[in-house]
Structure 1
Amino acid sequence: MDVRRADERYPGGDEAAGIASRHAFSFGPHYDPDNLRFGALLACNEERLAPGAGFDEHPHSHTEIVTWVVAGELTHRDSAGHETVVRAGDVQRLSSAGGVRHVERNDAAAPLTFVQMWLAPHEPGGEPAYEIVRGIADSTPYAVPQAGAMLHVRRLAAGERTAVPDGAYVYVHVVRGEVTLGGETLGAGDAARVTNAEALDAVAVRRAEVLVWEMAAP
């Protein structure tokens, strides 16, 4: 188990434009050849957008992009004609496939915080696709078959225990609160990369929200 702390993330964004980013993996100017990916996961970015701030239209290709809103509202528009507002508890997925362009903005009056995760598909190309699941329930896994991955959302009360899925690659990201995992205490923004995970439990030290990626071997 490899634990990465919140303060170890690479800083990014544009503070003057109201964008603050923190990257868990090699990203943009912060190139780290030893931290390019874990399993299918290529990026786990924590993004904070001030009201009126956002990312102008930009391209993606050959990437599965999954977004989890922590607080606020995210406006999404893409070149395939989708326009939605993503709120806390929703899972949004954009399959960029052979190529798509999109805009991400905070058009609301309150600050926006979200976690965006990029995964590598098994096969490149294809047609872009978009999906949003409103208010996903605990213990309802969200599958990204194109990347051989499954997202599990866990919301835990203090003292509550949950099993971490067994898997070749398991990535545990703490959105809020605090949990113990394999003898380590993880706080908000911390993550654990577990190879060949087996018989692991996460226990909430205090009320917590956790995103868990279960990924097959490449």
Structure 2
Amino acid sequence: MTEAPDRGRADLRRTAERYRSTPAEGVETRHAFSFSGHYDPKNTHFGALLACNEELLAPGAGFEEHKHRDTEILTWVLEGALAHRDSYGHSGVVRPGMVQHLSAGSGVTHTERNVGGATGPVRFVQMWLQPDEFDAAPAYGLRKVEPADGGLTLLASGLERDAGTDALRLRRGDAALWLATAGPWQPLPELPEAPWRYAHLTAGSLGYRTVPGPKGGGRSMEPGDSVRITGEAFADPTAGETGAELLLWEMHSPVSYG
């Protein structure tokens, strides 16, 4: 008897399932993976992604100086403005419609704060990716995103395929971060294929089928929900009544140890 093909899995994680921490006054973080004092041995990473944190900083609040090493850190602001400053002299203010990349390399310290004078919070998504080049000099990038025609915009990539584009360059040669958007009740653009894909809904709502065809169960996503995708899972994603904005990681290899 012929075995049924393995179509992969679409593992939906609700925002309310995230581990919540309050590391400082005015700071609230919701973690998708094991992080700091919260450790779940079954949930340490997905593909090459090590962290996907939803952050909320009240006016005047932020993360004091702290150090990173050998981590690719990508930041996408949803509301407000985030001020970054690091020990290599890089500084920037990240606002909605901009993407920031800090490649920690051999080691860098930085601060992240709600921008001075703000009267409201800053909300952002921060993602950590394992590099495949280690102990390099730290690097920084910040760009305003010009949405591409068709609703699929490349934000950052380490793939040779994407060299020469406007995308921020990652120190991982087989991963890329995309922004996918669709209007009300419209299908998302065709998404890039990869053995590991991580989708995080930042705005609107989204429906999809767990696998292609009539046997795929229907699921829905709200802002903050994420899906860990392998194989052909996550079929026919379609925006809800207010449209949808989705961050999508394309990853062709998992975390490497040793």
Report the TM range for the smaller structure's normalisation: over 0.9
Is residue 2:155 matched to residue 1:142? yes
Corresponding residue number in structure 1 for 2:251? 215
> Residue 48 of structure 1: which of 46, 52, 56 is its match?
56
In the aligned structure 2, how far is the partner of 1:122 from the partner of 1:13? Answer: 31
Unaligned runs of 5+ in 2: 1-9, 159-170, 210-217
Is residue 2:140 matched to residue 1:130? yes
1:7 aligned counterpart, secondary structure: helix
> What is the CA-CA distance between 1:20 and the residue it aligns to?
0.8
2:35 aligned counterpart, secondary structure: coil
2:230 aligned counterpart, secondary structure: strand
Is residue 2:114 matched to residue 1:106? yes
How big is each residue's C-alpha offset from its partner over 1:17-43, in whole Å with a ceiling of 9 and x where there is no partner? 111110000111110111010011000
> What is the CA-CA distance between 1:125 and the residue it aligns to?
1.0
> What is the CA-CA distance between 1:199 and the residue it aligns to?
8.0
2:220 aligned counterpart, secondary structure: strand
Corresponding residue number in structure 1 for 2:163? none
> What is the CA-CA distance between 1:205 and the residue it aligns to?
1.3
> Residue 27 of structure 1: which of 35, 48, 53 is its match?
35
How big is each residue's C-alpha offset from its partner over 1:92-136, in whole Å with a ceiling of 9 and x where there is no partner? 000001100100000222210000000001132111000011134
Root-mean-square deviation (CA, aligned residues, Å) is 1.5
Is residue 2:16 matched to residue 1:7? yes
In the aligned structure 1, how far is the partner of 2:34 from the partner of 2:181? Answer: 28
Corresponding residue number in structure 2 for 1:161? 187
> Residue 239 of structure 2: which of 196, 204, 207 is its match?
204
Judged with a 3 Å threshold, the aligned counterparts in structure 2 of structure 1 residues 118 and 197 are, in CA distance, closer, same or farther, namely: farther
In the aligned structure 1, how far is the partner of 2:146 from the partner of 2:101? Answer: 13
Counting aligned pairs with the same residue, the percent is 47
Normalising to structure 1: TM-score of the pair? 0.94
In the aligned structure 1, how far is the partner of 2:98 from the partner of 2:222? Answer: 22
